[in-house]
Structure 1
Amino acid sequence: MHQMNDLRRIDLNLLVILDALLSEQHVTRAAERLHLSQPAVSHALARLRDLLGDPLLVRAGASLVPTSRALELMAPLAEALAQVQSLLAPNAFDPATTQRTFRLAMSDYGAAIVLPGLIRSLRSEAPGIDLQISHASREGMLDGILNGDIDIAVGVFPEMPNELRSTLLFEEHYVCLVDRDSLPADATLDLPAYLARPHVLLEMRGSGTPEIERALTALHERRRVAVSLPHWNVAPQLISGTDLILTVASRGVRDIDEASLIVVPPPFHIPSFTFVLAWHQRRGGDQALNWLKQRIGEGIKR
């Protein structure tokens, strides 16, 4: 009876607001997400603090940081709300009529592979769905999912936090890109020739391409990096007319100028890697998000 009386004190709409606050960790963003005024969300937070006997969110600069009690509530609350939504409106999601914005994180390499097919699907099947694309390091993408700033991340994530889930999009391998005139037709790129040349290194905020460096370290070798940059699209253009080598994922050099550039296999073993789609487990009941994840997988540029 005591539990029933406690339940009667709670407006279930408050739980929806709490879920948004815990996800956004910002009153204004939560209000925008819920289409409510900022004072209304602030008032709801005050009621929730009183009902649950916990501050739930404490200010740290411009953001709100969840308390330990709030962190305990995040996953079960999101799961419960998803179950209620599914129970009350199992067929509520209609791609043709849904008006929604999703926040995706990916590199420009990922964007070139994912976005063309995805955008075509959205324009034909779900024209009311908008996308906001951001670019960050691997760690930054995962942090964005954890704190609710990102809905989906696509990329290479060797270490995945327990709260996140992922699905395989494709397996990728490395190739080397060199100037066609710098490699005689009857020559091969052996390891001494590879190490003798200067290299272009693609990296984002220090994450680099550790798979290549680890493979060289296993051979007790090092390469000289002449140019380090975070831009996938421009990197192949740096190779033409030079002695530089670019070692990258094979899908990143599909559209090269074959008159001046040539793709050859690396002269040493570099393990292949998996390219995945990642999201937070608390979003498992989000029908629109699940639909979007499926469309991403179906639209991958093979």
Structure 2
Amino acid sequence: MNSLRGIDLNLLVVLEALLAERHISRAALRLQLSQPAVSHSLARLRQLLDDPLLVRGQGGLVLTPRAHELAGPLAEALAQVRILLGPGGFQPATARRTFRLAMSDYGALVVLPRLLRTVRKAAPNIDLTVTQSSRESMTGQIADGELDVALGAFAFEPEGVRTAALFNDDFACAVDAATVRDTGRLDHVAYLARSHVLVTGPTERGEAIDAAVTRLGGRRKIACVVPHWSVAPGLILGTNMVLTAARRTLEALADERLAIFEAPFTIPGFTYSMIWPEKADADPGHTWLRERVQHAAAVTETEDESAAISLRG
């Protein structure tokens, strides 16, 4: 076991930057060090940890399994050191830090743009790294400290994980407006007669929609399956296909060529939430980030309530 007396703790700051950037030159720029200095530190880290940490792969440097294991505990340890040695409270204007977030395409559409603008304005040296995975994987990564914040519709809260509801959402339908000129909407018979676009990704699989359709005694004919909300509205233009999606995504991607209307049957809505590691509660920087997430979601909620987009029906 290595003795702390023989370790330069500045190496851990270099390691944090290398794991985040996966590029020696970018890590050097981020740390305001020379590239040779970062390369030298990497060599020392490899010797200290007895692992190459970053190796050549397709498209550049990739993390070794050991480096992946270190990422979460390293971020947590450095956060605690910064709390211990830093000034009282959190100074966003001067802070240098990378927060690791996870969310689906949904969150990237309805929350992330406002969050990023808020963070960049108040804390220009705070970076956000955003990934996407299943709800189960995100929850596990939060519990293990590999992520700082995850956004999603979480059904359970494991031990060591905190949860805060951000807003509620429901489902609406969209079609090419030219195909519903007379009514501006579809009844359930016309809805089931048409083909559909289904958005299915790591966190959205359309179970709630299909369960509601099944209760009507019908079944959707899926003509196209895509992994991202952002591309779905454009796919139905010029066709008679139907897109049934979370209302906020349709509003975020609204197009005057689309007719957006209430679903012709009841689909249960969902609560969109933020989760984070319980151990981060004592971290002022983490608290600041969570407040920014809640603010971005609250702005979304307010704008949705006053939006000019009218749903026919």
TM (norm. structure 1) is: 0.69
Percent identity of equivalent pairs: 38
> Is the Cα contact below 8 Å between 1:168 and 1:275 reproduced in 2?
yes
Change beyond 3 A, Cα 1:95–1:209: same
C-alpha distance in structure 2 between counterparts of 1:103 and 1:78, whole Å: 9
- Corresponding position of 2:260: 262
Q: CA deviation at 1:10?
A: 11
Matches for 1:271-286 after TM superposition, within 5 Å: 271-286=268-283
Task: Classify the secondary structure of the residue corresponding to 2:95.
Answer: coil
Q: CA RMSD in A?
A: 4.8
Q: Which ranges of structure 2 fall in alignment gaps of 5 or more residues?
A: 50-61, 302-313
Is 2:202 the partner of 1:202?
no
C-alpha distance in structure 2 between counterparts of 1:44 and 1:213, whole Å: 52
C-alpha distance in structure 2 between counterparts of 1:63 and 1:116, whole Å: 28
Pairing partner for 1:138 from 118, 134, 139: 134
Change beyond 3 A, Cα 1:240–1:261: farther
C-alpha distance in structure 2 between counterparts of 1:162 and 1:42, whole Å: 38
Q: CA deviation at 1:233?
A: 1.6
Matches for 1:1-302 after TM superposition, within 5 Å: 86=83, 89=86, 91-134=88-131, 136-139=132-135, 142=138, 145-146=141-142, 147-180=144-177, 181-182=179-180, 184-185=182-183, 188-190=186-188, 192-205=189-202, 207-255=204-252, 256-267=254-265, 269-300=266-297, 301-302=300-301
> Is the Cα contact below 8 Å between 1:97 and 1:128 reproduced in 2?
yes
Q: CA deviation at 1:260?
A: 4.2
Change beyond 3 A, Cα 1:79–1:37: closer
Q: Would you say how many aligned residue pairs link Structure 1 and Structure 2?
A: 285
> Is the Cα contact below 8 Å between 2:174 and 2:261 reproduced in 1?
yes
C-alpha distance in structure 1 between counterparts of 2:184 and 2:82, whole Å: 65
Aligned residue identity for 1:254:
E
Q: CA deviation at 1:237?
A: 1.4
Aligned residue identity for 2:166:
L
Q: Which ranges of structure 1 fall in alignment gaps of 5 or more residues?
A: 1-7, 49-61
Change beyond 3 A, Cα 1:129–1:89: closer
Task: Classify the secondary structure of the residue corresponding to 1:200.
Answer: strand
Aligned residue identity for 1:281:
E
Q: CA deviation at 1:81?
A: 8.5
Aligned residue identity for 2:134:
R
Aligned residue identity for 1:200:
V
Aligned residue identity for 1:158:
A
Greater shift in the superposed pair: 78-87 or 244-253: 78-87
TM (norm. structure 2) is: 0.67
